[in-house]
Amino acid sequence: MVALMKKSKAVKVTAKAKATETKRPKRNEKGWQAEKSAMTRLAILEATIQCLLELGYANTTTALIANYAGVSRGAMMHHFPSRMSVMRAVVDHLHKLRLQEYLELMADIDDPQRTLTHQVIRESVEAAWQYVNLPSFLAYQELLSASRTDAELRQVIDPVEKDFEKQFLDTAKAVFPHWQNLARLEGAHDMVQFLMKGMALSHMSVRKKARAKRVMTYLTAILYDIYQEANLIE
């Protein structure tokens, strides 16, 4: 009798557990599909950047992108039905990524609570050099260069480039609060931007690191003089 009661109790516990399991909410299928779709999309964008860096714009096809991303052609076409659609998406992706990376590199350099010294300016110059050697910067430059002769790509990249230049300068103004003379800051910003971009894209094969270091030393001295002169004008 006791054994029968124990068995009956065990059956009730099992039934209760099954009932609880049945009532437990299942994983949101829509949420999972959206997450999976976002992950696939990101993988395709990152694969596109890798292709641009390794193969160049002209050789970056949707088939190669799918291969680099590790997705099927069907998945690739589902997210991006044409080559230009993925290029449009990667331009927007790089636009946001480059601004974020620049802000992260520069955020802690010019502190309003400390003097803007020669060393601090040197740190900002080195951060700018680091920035133009990031994969995001180099991949975007590949697209920018290709847009010179590709009218369809140029239509995609022109408005993004204009918006980036504005936001890039606004970010520079925000992260360098000591530069009260905005006209001088804009001039200094342009000089750093063009010089760094030129060095990064020159593909110097002979003593590139040593030459870049020497240029950065000269640039730091020039920027410090500009800053000091701007303060005197103020």
Residue 16: the pLDDT is 45
Question: How much is the mean pLDDT over the chain?
Answer: 84
In the chain, the domains with their CATH numbers are 1-81 (1.10.10.60), 91-233 (1.10.357)
What's 135-200 look like in SS3? HHHHHHHHHHHHCCCCHHHHHHHHHHHHHHHHHHHHHHHHHCCCCCCHHHHHHHHHHHHHHHHHHH
Among 16-25, 56-65, 108-117, which is the least confidently predicted range?
16-25
Query: Quick check: 53 and 139 in contact, CB under 8 A?
Result: yes
- Ramachandran class of 126: left when φ > 0, alpha when ψ lies in -120 to 50, beta otherwise: alpha
Amino acid at 207: R
Distance of alpha carbon 85 from alpha carbon 153, whole angstroms: 10
* Res. 112: pLDDT tops 50: yes
What is the mean predicted confidence (pLDDT) over 135-142?
Answer: 96
Residue 20: the pLDDT is 47
Q: How do residues 22-54 score in pLDDT, each as one tens digit?
A: 454 455 666 777 788 889 999 999 999 999 999
Q: CA Rg, the chain, in Å? A: 27
With tokens 């369809």, the residue in question is 152
Say which residue, 180 or 167, is predicted with more confidence. Answer: 167
* Res. 171: pLDDT tops 50: yes
Maximum separation of any 2 CA atoms in the chain, in Å: 102
Confidence of residue 218 (pLDDT cuts 50, 70, 90): very high
Distance of alpha carbon 172 from alpha carbon 211, whole angstroms: 26
Which backbone phi and psi does 81 adopt, to 5 degrees? -70, -10
What is the mean predicted confidence (pLDDT) over 166-181?
Answer: 83
Residue 203: the pLDDT is 67
Say which residue, 218 or 14, is predicted with more confidence. Answer: 218
Residue 148: the pLDDT is 94
Share of residues in the chain with pLDDT > 90 (%)? 53
Closest CA to 216 of 132, 114, 102: 132
Distance of alpha carbon 199 from alpha carbon 66, whole angstroms: 32
Residue 9: the pLDDT is 46
